[in-house]
Structure 1
């Protein structure tokens, strides 16, 4: 489960899409960029391959809730 999720706009002009995010999972901090097309670019180490798809789904849900509400 994702904990301590945070996000912010990549650009000063908040109308431009693109966000940076960070969260903790299993005691490790992960960071990345969430692009307007829904793609995720990890800027820290990547989560374990077996958990990556589940984490991506959770990230999409969180971003939809917070950014596109």
Structure 2
């Protein structure tokens, strides 16, 4: 489970071109950029089970940004 998930627009007052996010997963901090078409660009390391984590991020972003 992702802990302390947070996101914000890349540019103030605009939802495009994407969002930056950060969270803790298995006691390690991860961050990156979430693009409007769903691509995730990681800053630094990627989680060992990246596909599982990407799915959780997509679900959170769909809930928070698109609804």
TM-score, L = length of structure 1? 0.90
Cα distance change on mapping 1:32 and 1:15 into 2, 3 Å: closer
Aligned counterpart in structure 2 of residue 56 of structure 1, from 54, 57, 65? 54
Partner of 2:16, secondary structure, is: coil
What CA distance in whole angstroms lies between the structure 2 residues aligned with 1:17 and 1:65?
18
Partner of 1:16, secondary structure, is: strand
Alignment of 1:16-31 (within 5 A): 16-31=16-31
Q: CA RMSD in A?
A: 1.0
Unaligned runs of 5+ in 2: none
Number of aligned residues? 67
Partner of 2:45, secondary structure, is: coil
Unaligned runs of 5+ in 1: none
What CA distance in whole angstroms lies between the structure 1 residues aligned with 2:57 and 2:7?
10
Normalized per residue, the structure richer in strand is: 2
